[in-house]
Amino acid sequence: MEHIIFDEQNRLTGRVGSQKRYLYQLIDWDLRCIGILGARGTGKTTIMLQRLKEVYGGSDKALYLSADNPRFQAFNLLEFAREFKQQGGEILFIDEVHKYPDWSVHVKAIYDSIPGFKIVFSGSSLLQISQQKADISRRAVIYNLHGLSFREYLYFSEARVFQAVSLAELIADHLALAAEVADGSTILKSFRSYLKSGYYPFFLEEPEVYIFKLREVINHIIEVDLSLIHHIDSRRIARIKKLIYLLATSLPLVPNMAKLAQATEISRPTLYNYLEHLQEARLLNLVHSQGRGYSKLAKPEKIYLENSNLMYAVSDQVHVGTLREIFFVSQIKNAMNLQPAFLENSVELSPRGDFLVNSELVFEVGGRNKTTRQIAGMDNAYIAADDIENGFGKKIPLWLFGFLY
């Protein structure tokens, strides 16, 4: 145990920063078992280290562990927790938990057999908690961490502090909200920077190599996380990468599944599974038509990259119309998937306008000259317009949808 504690305590000597992601304040830290799931690079490790330092400091009552530490792999997690408890430990922060064999069995056993002991674990967004060997869904409260919203990007890059707003507040008060944020600033320039390289917190570290780091993140998700969690044969990894590239270079794709299967040499049933896995991994967003319902075997009507930064990382050509739609879908879907209960916003394609949100609000996404012609006569229909600082009437600045979380 001493060797592991020495290894992991070295991580705490580094600077983790004082600026906190939106999720930090939403987590009920008094709970005994907390799971933080999210895509690689979104800041899960930082959140745990910030909590450890803020509450426990250098105390030996709390310990951070990374499950990919080779030394840790040789230990029985349950026995380790028991020994740590006997030495006065109160809480374990376990990072990359999905890399520890049968992790859910151990977490459940720790929860059930060590009264009062706390566990905070992080893992890939690919993890399906309800499908683990041990049912920990009744013990662990799961929080989902997304990439930076545009609001957070302004906080991290420019130290500008604004409160998140609900979609209803945004629609009702967009004139005042936009005036407050855009007053005396170069909001559109900041928005362009965010779309290219502002979704992942590591943009602060080495901005000049951000795209290269993002490509490494994509490769790790596909080569390591996807293979580990869904047991995908390494020989199929190249086909999945080809699938990502084809989708990125033809977005927003209205998919012909037969042709896509042929081009990637992936069978159609397997292709549906891969698309679902890539959405779980936060690399894609799948959008269906209104009224079609959701099913893993239902053909999505459009396929988007999960965020705009991915397009710059994967594709040589960036289509501005696609970029706008990627941003809108990403921010809307992320905004409701914040609390422990899975309350993801419903985003569907609309017969009139581009998107139907929560089965009642229609949005047309476009540039500054986009008119209301396509949504004329519709009460709950709005324009999300790019390249404008302030809106008017039913025309709302596109960038303002980045203030939903």
- pLDDT tens track for 188-198: 999 999 999 99
Q: Higher model confidence: residue 340 or residue 43?
A: 43
Lowest mean pLDDT among 97-101, 104-108, 250-254, 398-402: 250-254
Tell me what pLDDT residue 214 has. 98
Going along the chain from its start, the domains and CATH numbers come out as 2-145 (3.40.50.300), 151-403 (no CATH)
Whole-number Å distance between alpha carbons of 247 and 237:
15
Whole-number Å distance between alpha carbons of 387 and 239:
37
pLDDT category at 58 given cuts 50, 70, 90 is: confident
Beta carbons of 167 and 335 less than 8 angstroms apart: yes
Question: Amino acid identity of 180?
Answer: E
Tell me what pLDDT residue 77 has. 93
Tell me what pLDDT residue 259 has. 92
- pLDDT tens track for 327-375: 999 999 999 765 444 445 689 999 889 999 999 999 999 999 998 888 9
Axis crossing angle, helix 150-158 with helix 187-197, rounded to the nearest 10: 100
- pLDDT tens track for 92-140: 999 999 999 999 999 999 999 999 999 999 999 998 886 776 778 889 9
Q: Residue 27 corresponds to which tokens in the numbers above?
A: 């987590």
Percent of the chain with pLDDT over 70: 91
Cα 203 to Cα 139, 195, 207, 212, 308: the distances in Å are: 35, 12, 5, 11, 14
Give the ranges where 2-117 is alpha helix by DSSP (H): 2-9, 22-26, 44-51, 70-73, 77-86, 103-113
Question: Amino acid identity of 244?
Answer: I
Whole-number Å distance between alpha carbons of 346 and 87:
48
Average pLDDT along the chain = 90
Tell me what pLDDT residue 171 has. 97
Lowest mean pLDDT among 32-46, 260-274, 333-347: 333-347
Q: For the chain, how many residues are written?
A: 405
Percent of the chain with pLDDT over 90: 76
Element (H, E) at 122: strand 118-124
- Judged against a pLDDT cut of 90, whether residue 68 lies above it is answered with no
pLDDT category at 69 given cuts 50, 70, 90 is: confident
Give the ranges where 141-267 is alpha helix by DSSP (H): 150-158, 167-182, 187-197, 210-220, 227-230, 237-248, 257-264
Whole-number Å distance between alpha carbons of 32 and 107:
11
Tell me what pLDDT residue 74 has. 80
Lowest mean pLDDT among 2-6, 27-31, 57-61, 94-98: 2-6
pLDDT category at 318 given cuts 50, 70, 90 is: very high
Cα 94 to Cα 22, 121, 129: the distances in Å are: 20, 5, 16
